[in-house]
Amino acid sequence: MYSLETILIAFGLTLFAGLSTGIGAALAFFSKSDNTRLLSIGLGFSAGVMIYISFAEILVKSKASFALQFSDSSAEALMLICFFSGIALAFGIDRLVPEDVNPHELKTDQALAPLKTEHKESKQKMMLHRTGVFTALAIAIHNFPEGFATFVSALDSLTLGVGIAFAVAIHNIPEGMAVSLPIYHATGERKRAFWFAFGSGLAEPIGAAVGFFFLMPLMGELTLGITFGIVAGIMIYISLDELLPSARVYGNAHTAIAGIIGGMGVMAVSLLLFKIS
């Protein structure tokens, strides 16, 4: 049985790691609302973060979890089923959005001609705000099991827990930026952008608390495998359907690609530090 002090320290480390999304969110304070080039790079950066972390980390964890109970080929098949189920789930949710507020056709038009009318600018901002909210939701879902993992690691070893918490904090910073930039540019409200991003980070300490009190006795590798696979699918769909088209709209192919490469690079370094720790 763990002591109260050990539990509190583990929870504190998880809280620190999760709320570091606020650092990335604060970057919105240094962005001008009319700087669409920076927004394009930021949206591409967000897509790079989500795509890289989905393929390099989350799907790997999904397959590893399944592999503890099934053969390697079966584990990979289950991972892929969950992955495409996540994409289908995100697509289904997207189709439920009323057509008059669904920005997909607008994105295509925007890529060919800049928006100039007040009505189109309003729909453009609606699209951005929706992108930020969906990104916050996806990151929160991802952070939930991540918080549980950080918490459990800190319970078993304080040294390991500190290392993991710092590594998670590093790669949570660009995740906070991924949420704050589109919401800030859509609303012009720094506080709103900050709190959406900050709130997505709260999923980590919540994941730790829920995991400890309710899920720890029931949590198994099968559950983790399913969760990670579906989350990866959702994040890929959001990146391809929301972030990348928006990045092209607000800039050009070069700014979008620069953002993608930058996002992938930051995530690659943070995940490397995570493994080293």
**Residues of the chain falling short of pLDDT 70:** 1-2, 27-29, 31-36, 97-124, 142, 145, 153, 156-157, 160, 163-164, 167, 170-171, 215-219, 274-277
Q: Whole-model pTM?
A: 0.63
Predicted pLDDT at 90: 82
CB-based contact 161:154 (threshold 8 Å): yes
Both tokens assigned to 99: 């057509």
CB-based contact 8:212 (threshold 8 Å): no
Q: Is 19 helix (H, G, I), strand (E, B) or coil?
A: coil
Instruction: For 162-213, write each residue's pLDDT tens digit.
Output: 766 776 776 677 778 778 878 887 877 888 888 888 888 888 898 888 877 8
Predicted pLDDT at 101: 41
CB-based contact 144:151 (threshold 8 Å): no
Predicted pLDDT at 167: 65
Query: Which helix or strand (DSSP H or E) is residue 158 part of?
Result: helix 158-187
CB-based contact 18:151 (threshold 8 Å): no
